Amino acid sequence: MASIRTLQTFLSAARLGSFAAAGQEVGLTAAGVGLQVRALEEELGVALFDRGARAVVLNPEGRRHVEAIADIVERWQQLPARRARDGLAGTVVMGALVSALMGAFADALWMIKRRHPALAVTLLAGQSADFMNRVERGELDAAVVTQPPVLLPTSVHWTPLYREPMVLIVPTRPHFALPRAPRDILAQCPFMRFDRRTWTGHLVNEALAQCDVTVNEGLELNSVEAIVELVRQGFGVAIVPQLANLRWSRDRALRVVPLPQITVERNVGLLERRRHNRQRFTQALKDHFNAAVGRAEP
């Protein structure tokens, strides 16, 4: 009978499309991966890959077996959690926006880890759109992402966790003339734009549309943290989500300028497959934020 290691090797090869790349991931040579895959094929009585000179591609039989094999591996990995007295243990692999780690999600993760010391969480930083594909393929158990502006595949779903208003931030010591009126600030000062191809970039575009102003384009970056730091150093202004754990009111290097016409908010939520074996952990995350909303309502 095939071992769990063999099944993990098969899943790596299926995902990466290369025995060599799979070998680097699981700690084998390309030849070793090939031997394990061939042994699995002999046991199942079917070929799982179409082999080429430079790549291997899952054939229809291989694609048919991926979900069942992934389910076996996930159930095996979940066994430590079932043995744990507190019900949450083992390793969870999550994607998270870096800005989420500076916001409310960091507090939630810290609280859950304190309650469940046997739980290990591996966090990978990146962009929302990249995480969607990795969650769908099963490379990540879940990801904390901005609300998708596109229709999601039927195999995954997104649950809202918390909201961040989009705000205009300006430096207190700019390297340029800073007008008083907010619309003049946007029209005249160097504008640090969040990458317009990203999900958060779409929100910045919506906020600018509500202001009905053409900005003075400065730099375009894909990091909220980098944009905030450039504004702090006086190089421009920006519209960004107001991160929960950054006390901008106490920051002497920047200030928030009210823009009443902006009603856009960044909704941050949890992206996960509709069926997976880390749902007790993801439910704990959702319960944490539901409780926080309940405390805030009164």
Measured between alpha carbons, how far is 173 from 177 in angstroms, rounded to an integer? 10
Measured between alpha carbons, how far is 11 from 201 in angstroms, rounded to an integer? 34
φ, ψ of residue 210 to 5 degrees: the values are -70, -30
Closest CA relative to residue 209, chosen from 255, 167, 264: 264
Whether 75 shows a pLDDT value over 90: the answer reads no
Structural domains in the chain plus CATH codes: 4-69 (1.10.10.10), 81-162+267-296 (3.40.190.10), 164-265 (3.40.190.10)
- What rounded mean pLDDT belongs to the chain? 86
So what's the pLDDT on residue 213? 92
So what's the pLDDT on residue 82? 54
pLDDT in tens, 99-137: 887 767 888 888 888 888 888 888 888 888 888 888 887
Whether 294 shows a pLDDT value over 70: the answer reads no
So what's the pLDDT on residue 248? 81
State the DSSP H helix or E strand holding residue 21, giving kind and residue range, or none if neither: helix 19-26
- Separation of CA 123 from chain center: 9
pLDDT in tens, 135-190: 887 788 899 999 988 888 888 999 999 998 999 999 999 999 999 999 999 999 99
Q: Which two tokens stand for residue 270?
A: 């949890």
Length of the chain equals 298
First-to-last C-alpha distance (Å) of the chain = 58
Whether 86 shows a pLDDT value over 50: the answer reads no
CA dihedral 57, 59, 61, 65 (to 10 degrees): 30
The structure tokens 């207190």 sit at 172
Least confidently predicted of 74-78, 86-90, 149-153: 86-90
Share of the chain above pLDDT 70, in %: 92
Measured between alpha carbons, how far is 46 from 173 in angstroms, rounded to an integer? 68
Of residues 241 and 25, which shows the higher confidence score? 241
So what's the pLDDT on residue 26? 76
So what's the pLDDT on residue 80? 58
pLDDT in tens, 188-211: 999 999 999 888 899 999 999 999
Whether 87 shows a pLDDT value over 80: the answer reads no
pTM of the model: 0.68
Closest CA relative to residue 268, chosen from 93, 108, 88: 108
Whether 81 shows a pLDDT value over 60: the answer reads no
Closest CA relative to residue 143, chosen from 110, 100, 194, 107: 100
* 20-47 average pLDDT score: 86
C-alpha distances out from residue 210 to 102, 192, 236, 263, Å? 27, 18, 20, 8
Whether 88 shows a pLDDT value over 50: the answer reads yes
So what's the pLDDT on residue 142? 93
Residues 274/155, Cβ–Cβ less than 8 Å = yes
pLDDT band for position 22 (cuts 50, 70, 90): confident
Pairing of strands 156-171, 238-241: antiparallel
Closest CA relative to residue 273, chosen from 87, 139, 182: 139
So what's the pLDDT on residue 255? 92
